[in-house]
Structure 1
Amino acid sequence: MRQFTAIVNPTAGAATGAGALQRVGRLLRQAGAALETVHSRSLAHAQDLARRAGDRGRIVLAVGGDGIAGGIGGALSGTGTVLGLVPAGRGNDLARALGLPAEPSALARILLRHEPKAVDTIEVWRDGTPRTVVLGSVYAGVDALANRYANRARLLRGAASYYAGGLRAVAGWRHAAYRITVDGTVHRHRGYTVVAANSAYYGSGRMIAPGARVDDGMLDVVLIAAAPRRLFFALMNELKTGRHLARPEVRVLRGRTVRIEADRAVPWGADGEVDAVLPVTARVLPGALRMLY
């Protein structure tokens, strides 16, 4: 029977994470699985806990949102350790892309019975700093700024925090001139954002890259060009269905290595975390992580 180590991210909401794990954990134990729970003090601590659990041959469960899922997944990339998710964050976009159910019994069945599948990860580095590895997407522009505002929101949760952050970011956005190099080919772009996506969703359920797949060895690079703010908000609503791809302001490239530069200090983020400005380089690592979904 499987042995699990669940890593809970207190910053994502201790009550939410503990409650989600309690419901799923009870079902895992009833089925005969072993489950231990540890609480991380920081993302770096969560990554260290995950590596140590993997060294003991345990399946690691990331309990929280996209930040801890991407951070732990990046730490386990290339190690052979199996990762499972217990979604309990604000966005849960990776869980959405993987088709993970919210209902505890359905999620427990996946964790207990499904065989691990290989998914791609993204190696990310900026000039002069050590590389990191993430899972979902790397984005540079107004969305990174909106996500920064959402992460700092104290009174709003979930999609509401992203919506409020988006309004604030777009209201003060000044279009950037980007230089995007995809597998050695340079593309010029002026506008709102550039997203190198390994999975379809970001920003709490927005389908930014409908064609992106976690196991195809490619990144879908979505460019949203300069447009009036009213049109931009209409386009944002279309992210729910993927209709935005039909707009002339939206362009999609595909490649394995993407470098994003800009004419000013544009913020960029990955898997819900924002802490840097351009330039940044992202490279897909095909099949580098084993996951249960």
Structure 2
Amino acid sequence: MKLLLIYNLHAGHKKAGKIFNKIKTRFVEKGIELDVKLTEYRWHGIELVKNSDLQKYDGVIAAGGDGTLFEVINGYYQNRGSGKPPIGLLPMGTGNAFARDLDLRTFEWEKAINIICSGKTRKVDVAQFSTEGKIFYYLNILGLGFVADVGVTAHPLKFLGNFAYTVGVFYQMVFLKTFKIEIKLDGKNYERENIFVEISNTRWTGSTFLMAPEAEIDDGFLDVILLNKVSRRKLLRLFPTIFNGTHVNMDEVEAFKARKITIHSNIPKILAPDGELAGSTPVEIECLHQAIEVFCP
């Protein structure tokens, strides 16, 4: 087996860099031939995968967090070659939401290597979204509104781990404002005064928030979670419930499933796919059913 390993040494507060040699050694012990390419700056992973001859490999592995996986997936789709291999991941970032849907926790790299080396795969859905004249892809979530604003606040605080997102929540709560959206779900229109929108392929967000408890990564649908107008006090009560997914039972929260989604807002809202920041509303999102193979348990 020959693998292309896209590795983010800075993932997990640079812990990924400290175990880099251990990981390479373990792959060698498993008889795996590795081509290692290190990411050096934001979205470098997209370039590395886009410009690689993927036909040479039996798998493309994203070693880092959800952001690294986002880069690998987008480079994979921008690559014009044919016969592309499955995707694998070593979960070593601040957030590893997609990994959790594969029953992998942060820094379970030995378990992840065993999964990859087993060669077992499954087909999963991919979300495609169009914004500002560009097309992107993601495997996990796309958020806008409060959740994206939290991401903006949390980004420079990633050294705090998942606590960075908690800090972001309370900081953004001070400036909480609603905005108006028009959202079309498989041809049906809705208008809402909104706090946030999450378009989820996976159940988890940031590996600790059970944002979309009914989501499945291969069912051909994206799960749409809307938080509509709510007071700061009610939002404070809602926040802890996202850890166990019971927020979807609140009156101010709506949950839908859809294949195609279009969102317009009365003011441009930043988009946060897989913890990254890319584009703004209006946005069109589509579920590509079982469009990619991933190594799985």
Instruction: Tell me, yes or no, whether TM beats 0.5.
Output: yes
The total of aligned residue pairs comes to 290
2:130 maps to which of 120, 125, 130:
125
State whether residues 116 and 290 of structure 1, in contact with CA within 8 Å, keep that contact through their aligned partners in structure 2.
yes
Question: 1:230 maps to which residue?
Answer: 233
State the percentage of identical aligned residues. 23
Question: 1:83 maps to which residue?
Answer: 87
Question: 1:163 maps to which residue?
Answer: 166
2:195 maps to which of 192, 196, 219:
192
| Separation (CA, whole Å) in 2 of partners of 1:56 and 1:145 | 40
Question: 1:244 maps to which residue?
Answer: 247
Closer, same or farther: CA 271–212 of 1 in aligned 2, 3 Å:
same
| Separation (CA, whole Å) in 1 of partners of 2:75 and 2:217 | 17
| Separation (CA, whole Å) in 1 of partners of 2:134 and 2:154 | 26
Closer, same or farther: CA 10–62 of 1 in aligned 2, 3 Å:
same
Spell out, residue by residue over 1:74-119, the C-alpha distance to the aligned partner (whole angstroms, 9 max, x if none): 3324963211111111111111122124433322211111412111
Residue 149 (str. 1) matches residue 153 (str. 2): yes
Question: 1:27 maps to which residue?
Answer: 26
State whether residues 137 and 197 of structure 1, in contact with CA within 8 Å, keep that contact through their aligned partners in structure 2.
yes
1:215 maps to which of 215, 218, 223:
218
State whether residues 12 and 161 of structure 2, in contact with CA within 8 Å, keep that contact through their aligned partners in structure 1.
no
State whether residues 40 and 46 of structure 1, in contact with CA within 8 Å, keep that contact through their aligned partners in structure 2.
yes
Secondary structure of the corresponding residue to residue 87 of structure 2: strand
| Matched letter for residue 120 of structure 1 | D
| Separation (CA, whole Å) in 2 of partners of 1:267 and 1:33 | 41
Closer, same or farther: CA 109–167 of 1 in aligned 2, 3 Å:
same
Structure 2: which 5+ runs fail to align?
none
Closer, same or farther: CA 22–223 of 1 in aligned 2, 3 Å:
same
Spell out, residue by residue over 1:18-63, the C-alpha distance to the aligned partner (whole angstroms, 9 max, x if none): 2344333322211211123211233543123224152322411111
| Separation (CA, whole Å) in 1 of partners of 2:19 and 2:59 | 18
Secondary structure of the corresponding residue to residue 134 of structure 2: coil
| Separation (CA, whole Å) in 2 of partners of 1:43 and 1:96 | 24
| Separation (CA, whole Å) in 1 of partners of 2:284 and 2:19 | 35
Closer, same or farther: CA 9–53 of 1 in aligned 2, 3 Å:
farther
Q: Which moved more, 1:65-74 or 1:6-15?
A: 6-15
Q: Which moved more, 1:83-92 or 1:272-281?
A: 272-281
Closer, same or farther: CA 233–192 of 1 in aligned 2, 3 Å:
same
Closer, same or farther: CA 179–161 of 1 in aligned 2, 3 Å:
same
Closer, same or farther: CA 67–105 of 1 in aligned 2, 3 Å:
closer
Query: What TM-score do you get using the length of structure 2 for normalisation?
Result: 0.91
Instruction: Give the drift of 1:6.
Output: 1.3
| Matched letter for residue 92 of structure 1 | N
Structure 1: which 5+ runs fail to align?
none
